[in-house]
Structure formats: structure tokens, C-alpha cells
Amino acid sequence: MTAKIIKTCIVYWCFLICLGSPLMASSLADKYEDQNKRIEINPDLQAYVEAREAENRLVIEKGKLHILGVDSLGAFRKSGKYSAPRDYNTDWFGFYELENKLFGFVQNADSRLICDGRDYPLRLELVALAKRDDIDSYTFKASASYNKGPFFKRGIETFELNLKTKSCFYEKRGRVAKCEIISPNDSYNFSGMTGGNVQQRFEAGLRKMPKYLERLRGCKFRE
Amino acid sequence: MIKKFALTLLIGLLVSLQPLVSGAEPVLVDDGLVTPKVNSQLLFDRLWEEQQARASNGLEKSKNKKRAKRLLCERLSVSTTLKTYLKEIVGVKLKSNPKSISVESVQFQNVTSLYGVCSVIVYTPVGPCFFDANPGKPINIWSLEINNREQSDDCKNN
């Protein structure tokens, strides 16, 4: 008798589990659909973000990546055809050269967007750094400290560089020091301390675009 | 005939494997987005203008912040809580003052802001007393610090 009851219980238990799982899955699926139905991405916002990402794509795809390093003990170390920052204290960032102009990328929250109850999503923001002058030099301001790449960091130190001769100087608190540049041919073999090829890290930023758009649900332009 | 075919097959295989071996070309994963036709000159100019505008806007904001601090100090001057505490502070001092002057006769004016600190000059019948108070903080007895002790002491001793 007891065995019969236990057997019946097991059968019912199995039946409930088999019935319960699809029900739960379908309720979550419905919930997911509902929540995504409620908040739509603002079409103007989507167009704006896509235009910015298209510009990023142009620079990353068509531009030449350079790496600038700042370290009084030497910015880079080389092992075979691979380069890396000298050590964890070395400050460096990547920037792109495109048709005699330099562009950098800052990882930034977009101050033009407001998202209800949430932080502004981070995105890659393109920065116009400098135009080449008559003597093939570029001058721009950046931060020479606390930057472990690959992104550019805004700052007050003046950098002056020549990409042909690879000369690089920067002025910090009235003192001029040397910086180092790794040329485009080397950049593909340059990996940051956290690992990964630098060019690929920028390209990965482009691939995050669909996910970024997802996070813009419920966001709008700041008035 | 078979040898020729095998050779062709081998060359074909090598050619198709070549990009995998060298791997030097920048390859973007095809995510369905087409590289746009954007003029780099126009792009640079637009970004440059935006950056300049943002920089000057930042400067303006910083000026406004200073202005806001000054306004806050002005508001501080009409705060009844401040009046009460000033009276209390001066009142305590006046109690220990042998000349003993009525607290009600305290006036205060000339509230200015310098480096974010509101300087309050209190004109009492015994002479001016100087106080510094931080703007934006609730006025209570602890936030109203007497920074210029010498002058305050003078004020007390007068």
C-alpha cells in the first residue's frame, strides 16, 4: 500500500516538473516580450547613435593606429615582433591618423542623453585631436598620467609629435620631456598590459554597437 | 593528368590558407553595418567645433557656479536661522562682556564670496565682527565657523 502511494507521488511529481518548466519558460518569455514592447528606442536617438558609430567605424577602419607612450624609463619593450608597455606604470594611449588629421577615442558617457533612473551608457566618443601643420607636426593636449590605454584621456599637457620622424615631446608643469611613438606597422603587434591586440580592442568597440543600442531604451536627448 | 590535378589542388589550398597564416590585414567582423561615406575633413571640423563649443560652455558654467555661490551667500544673509545663531553667538560673547550690549541691536551685511567661502561681516554696536560660513551648507552653529579669531576676539573684548 505504502509502495503504491509513493509510486503515485513520484508519478505526480514527475508530471508537475514536466508541466511546470515550460510554463515558467513561457511566462518569462512573455515578460521579456512585454518589457521590451513597453520601451522603444527613440528613432532620432537611434539615428544619432548610428551616425556617431559610423564615424567611429570610418576612423578605426580607414585610419592608421599609433601608440603614444610616456615613461621616463622608456615607454615600450619589444619581444620579437611584439611590443607592449614597459610595465604597469607606463602611461600610453592609441590614436588614429587619417588624411593628415589625428583622432582619439575617449570612453565616455554621452552627456546629451538622459536615461530614466539609469546612468548614461558608456560609448566610444571620437575626439578631433590635431591637424598636421606646415612642418609635419601635430600638437594637441592630453593627459600624460593615469592612462593605461588604449583610449585617449583629455588633459592639459601639450604634446608635439612628428609621425614621420617619430619625434615626440610633451610639456608638463613647465618641463619638457620625451615621449615615444610606435608606428602603424608595429601597432598590430602591440598588446596592452591587460592583453589583446590594441587595434582589435578598438574594433571590438564597434561590435558592441547593437548591445549599446539596446541599452538606450527609455533614453532621450537632454533638452 | 592526375599529377596536374593534384598540383592545382595543392596550389589552390595554399592560396586559400595564406590569409589565415599572415593575418596582418585589419579585418572587421561583418556585423551587417556598412562603412559609411564620411568625409574626414568635415568630420574633423564638426568635432572640433563641438569641442570648442563645449569648452566655452564649460567656462561659462564655471562662471555661473561662482555667480551662484555669490547668490547663495546673499541668500545666506537673509536667513533667519543665521540671524538667530549670529545673535546667539554674539549674545554669548556679549554676556561675557562687561559692557553688556543688547543682542537685538546686532545687524549684519556685506556678505561676499571669495574662493567659495562666504565672509559675513556683522556690525554690532561694539564694532565689526568677521565670520566665514560655507555656502550651501545648512546654517547651524557648527557650520558657522569663526575663522578670523583675532578679529572675533577683538569683537568679543570690545
Pairing of strands A157-162, A82-85: unpaired
- Average of per-residue pLDDT values in chain B: 53
Q: Do B28 and A103 count as a contact with CB atoms less than 8 A apart?
A: no
Q: Which residue of A has its CA nearest to B36?
A: A54
B-interface mutation test, from A101, A110, A139, A154, most B Cβ less than 10 A away: A101
Which of B19, B154, B135 has its CA nearest to residue B93?
Answer: B154
Residues 6+ apart with CB under 8 A from A199: A60, A65, A187, A188, B26
From chain B, pick out residues whose CB is under 8 angstroms from the CB of A57: 28, 33, 35-36
The pLDDT tens digits for A166-180 are 999 999 888 899 999
State the amino acid at position A215 in one-letter form: R
* Cell digits of residue B5: 590535378
Report ipTM (2 d.p.).
0.74
Q: Which residue of B has its CA nearest to A51?
A: B36
Task: Report d(CA A189, CA A192) in Å as an integer.
Answer: 10
Percent of chain A with pLDDT over 90: 27
Residues 6+ apart with CB under 8 A from A26: none
From chain B, pick out residues whose CB is under 8 angstroms from the CB of A131: 44
Task: Report d(CA A162, CA A179) in Å as an integer.
Answer: 11
Q: Give me the pLDDT at residue B157, please.
A: 40
Of B29, B35, B47, the CB nearest to A58: B35
Q: Does A62 lie at the interface with B, CB-CB under 8 angstroms?
A: yes
Task: Report d(CA B20, CA B112) in Å as an integer.
Answer: 71
Task: Report d(CA A27, CA A24) in Å as an integer.
Answer: 5
The pLDDT tens digits for A108-140 are 777 778 877 666 777 788 999 999 998 999 999
Average the pLDDT over B95-118 and give the result: 40
Q: What is the nearest CA distance from A62 to chain B, expressed in angstroms?
A: 9
Q: What is the nearest CA distance from A67 to chain B, expressed in angstroms?
A: 16
Of A54, A60, A101, the CB nearest to B40: A101
Q: Do B43 and A210 count as a contact with CB atoms less than 8 A apart?
A: no
Cα–Cα distances in Å, from A216 out to A42, A57, A211, B33, B153?
A: 8, 20, 9, 18, 60
- Residue A54 scores a pLDDT above 50: yes
Task: Report d(CA A49, CA B28) in Å as an integer.
Answer: 19
Task: Report d(CA A101, CA A105) in Å as an integer.
Answer: 14
Q: Does B26 lie at the interface with A, CB-CB under 8 angstroms?
A: yes
Per DSSP, B105 falls in state G
How far from the centroid of its chain's Cα atoms is residue A34's Cα?
31
Task: Report d(CA A9, CA A14) in Å as an integer.
Answer: 9
Q: Give me the pLDDT at residue A38, please.
A: 58
Q: How confident is the model at residue B123 (pLDDT cuts 50, 70, 90)?
A: low
Task: Report d(CA B42, CA B44) in Å as an integer.
Answer: 5
Task: Report d(CA A147, CA A153) in Å as an integer.
Answer: 7
Q: Does A206 lie at the interface with B, CB-CB under 8 angstroms?
A: yes
Q: Which residue of A has its CA nearest to B29?
A: A207
Q: How many CB pairs under 8 A join A and B?
A: 58
Residues 6+ apart with CB under 8 A from A98: A58, A59, A62, A63, A64, B40
Pairwise pLDDT comparison (B73 vs A148), residue with the higher score: A148
From chain A, pick out residues whose CB is under 8 angstroms from the CB of B41: 99, 101
Dihedral sign (CA A190, A196, A199, A201) = negative
Task: Report d(CA B74, CA B67) in Å as an integer.
Answer: 11
pTM: 0.58
